Amino acid sequence: MDMEVTAWMSMYHTMNAQDDKRPFSKATLKRIAEFARPHKVRLGWFLLLSVVTAALAVATPVLAGEVVDVIDQGLSEGTVLRLAALIAVIAVAEATLGLLARWLSANIGEGLIYDLRRTVFDHVQRMPIAFFMRTRTGALVSRLNNDVIGAQRAFSDTLSGVVSNLVAVLLTLVVMLGISWQITLLALVLLPVFVLPARRMGSRLARLEREAADHNAAMGTQMTERFSAPGATLIKLFGRPADESSEFAARASRVRDIGVRTAMVQWVFVTALTLVSALALALVYGLGGFYALNDQLDPGDVVALALLLTRLYAPLTSLASARVEVMSALVSFERVFEVLDLRPLISDRPGAVSVPDGPVSVEIDNVRFAYPSADKVSLASLEQVASLDTRGGVEVLHGVSLRAEPGQLVALVGSSGAGKSTLAALIPRLYDVDAGVVRLAGIDVRDLTATSIRETLGMVTQDGHLFHESVRSNLLLARPEADDEQLWDALRRARLADLVTALPDGLGTIVGERGYRLSGGERQRLTIARLLLARPRVVILDEATAHLDSTSEAAVQAALGEALAGRTAVVIAHRLSTVRAADLILVIEAGHIIERGTHSELLAAGGRYTDLYRTQFDQPTPVAATPVG
């Protein structure tokens, strides 16, 4: 490795390391060891190969010096050829072992990335809905990408680098001191001139790189939000494309300026270090040549010292930055473990059972509930705030009780924010109650397995969320084993088969981000088709027709008729026309059930339900226009 390459590598490692001052955490190191344990055999071979490769790298300069001495002494040609052949064998062995070490390094690193990513992904999936409502998605994704890769470098780069560089430095110094301790010590005097600029310039470049990364992240966030269908619509509606362009251009301009500045600093850095290396070599050749001319040193020793010097500065410079690299890797591990340490609030109890076969009743018995505070479900770094709000949640349900018998339709109505959607979220156990009990088929949902609850319940929300995948993929989320005949049957029952048939690729048509290539009514009917495919015994509808026009609502209502037939249903509705035929209507206000009964009973009572009904259906008397003039 020549001095210019050494300069670039030194600068790269310093730029990409975070100089964290926190002490080593034994707990963190122990957890790292747990992740490394499955790879310990390959890790051992990798370290052994790194040591052998480092030793071979030192042998080549020594043999080159021997060749020069043989030539100078006029020995036989056979000796020169044997030495040359040995150098060639060592070169081949070094290259082969280097490739094998690199294969092991990649295997270990990629295996660790796989283990960490899968562990974090599975853990995040078990987190409560409150976690996702508070967390910035980009910050969470960064943990699965940037931090996991940073942690992986601890094994694939840092660990092997420290071991191999330490071996290379020790062997090189021993050989150089054995050849000429005077020249070796003088050459080392220039080392601080080599290392200090690397650290200072590297830190300066790191600051520039971090600033550029921040600007790039901001531009990425801006593009992600503005290039989504709802974001682009909002910008166009408010006529702010020019302002958005100006804001984006300002950040892009700063990144451009940083790029120019970084390029110049890098060039000055490499030029300066290349100059230092040339001065060191000049010292070796000058002083070594002087000793050789005075018969105090063999010519071959001068060549060996010069070659060894080039192999000494590289590992010494890397070792000088090793602490920063190690701490950087530890920071990445700690950020990953920070997510893993968040305890899921919802988990299966030991001995949890499945929902019994047959019709299922839904019972909510004297339930009280407050949404969990931020410190129980989130991290400040994932919310990108200085500190989490530790205040306790405000109770939103106060002793609520209801029962839906098997096959019965129970409707929840009331003002926005009254607690209807919260109540619906407790049935599939998206949250756990603070007091009281939620039961399915007479069993506390906390005593049921999450899998059986998901198989028993089906839910349609007002936004009708779909993934940016095909119609088929969105449907198969409900039943992965379903065939095309079953998919088409669900689409026909959801009044959507004709539309999908007319799509360019039928079931293979991509529906777009959040399903935005479909209309609101089509989106809802596709989610209903997904529900029908799942064949749940209990259906929860949360404002499934809230934002639809009359035509779309009629189509969705027809599809809902299929979905609700013979099933226990809990329906939340603002439009009272959709729940007139409910077996039981509950009026919820401020977390309390204030009225219950059928449509006709509640109208006759003349209470809150009557007020809501009149607000929606009583038409004010039109005022005659006053003639002008």
Domains located in the chain, CATH noted: 3-340 (1.20.1560.10), 407-433+448-617 (3.40.50.300)
Which of 169, 161, 263, 271 lies closest to 212, judged by CA?
263
Residue 3 has pLDDT above 70, yes or no: no
Q: What pLDDT is stored for residue 56 in this prediction?
A: 85
Strands (E) across 354-477 are located at 362-370, 395-404, 409-413, 435-440, 443-444, 457-460
Q: What pLDDT is stored for residue 621 in this prediction?
A: 37
Residue 448 has pLDDT above 80, yes or no: yes
Q: Which residues of 474-490 are buried (b: 16+ CB within 10 A; e: fewer)?
A: bbbebeeebeeebbbbb
Exposed, middle or buried by CB within 10 Å (0-12, 13-18, 19+), for 178? exposed
Residue 370 has pLDDT above 80, yes or no: yes
Residue that is written with structure tokens 């009583």 in the block: 618
The upper half-sphere exposure of residue 13, i.e. CA atoms within 13 Å in the direction of its Cβ, equals 28
Q: What pLDDT is stored for residue 625 in this prediction?
A: 41
- The mean of the pLDDT values for the chain is 79
444 phi, psi to nearest 5 deg: -55, 130
* Residue with more model confidence, 60 or 313: 60
Lowest average pLDDT, out of 117-121, 355-359, 601-605, goes to 117-121
pLDDT band at residue 547, thresholds of 50, 70 and 90? low
Q: Which residues of 495-518 are buried (b: 16+ CB within 10 A; e: fewer)?
A: bbbebbeebeeebebbbeebbbbb
Residue 37 has pLDDT above 70, yes or no: yes
pLDDT band at residue 335, thresholds of 50, 70 and 90? confident
CA–CA gap between residue 102 and residue 213 (Å, rounded): 29
Q: What pLDDT is stored for residue 155 in this prediction?
A: 66
Long-range contacts formed by 38-43: CB under 8 A, 24+ apart: 38/111, 38/115, 39/108, 39/111, 39/112, 39/155, 42/104, 42/107, 42/108, 43/108, 43/155, 43/159
Q: What is the pLDDT of residues 383-394, one digit of tens each?
A: 766 566 666 678
Lowest average pLDDT, out of 55-59, 83-87, 468-472, goes to 55-59
Q: What pLDDT is stored for residue 388 in this prediction?
A: 67
Residue 66 has pLDDT above 90, yes or no: no
Q: What is the pLDDT of residues 243-270, one digit of tens each?
A: 778 888 888 888 888 888 877 877 776 6
- For residue 461, what is the DSSP state? -
Residue 628 has pLDDT above 50, yes or no: no
Lowest average pLDDT, out of 306-315, 548-557, 567-576, goes to 548-557
Residue 68 has pLDDT above 90, yes or no: no
Residue 438 has pLDDT above 90, yes or no: yes
Positive or negative torsion for Cα 110, 111, 112, 115: positive
CA–CA gap between residue 524 and residue 438 (Å, rounded): 28
Q: Give the angle subtended at the CA of 149 by the CAs of 145 and 153, to the nearest 5°.
A: 175
pLDDT band at residue 368, thresholds of 50, 70 and 90? very high
CA–CA gap between residue 421 and residue 113 (Å, rounded): 39
- pTM strictly above 0.75: no
Q: What pLDDT is stored for residue 619 in this prediction?
A: 43
Residue 191 has pLDDT above 70, yes or no: no
Q: DSSP 3-state assignment of 542?
A: strand
Kindly list the distances between the CA atom of residue 128 and the CA atoms of 344, 390, 416, 428, in Å, as whole numbers in the listed order.
Answer: 6, 17, 23, 12
- For residue 402, what is the DSSP state? E
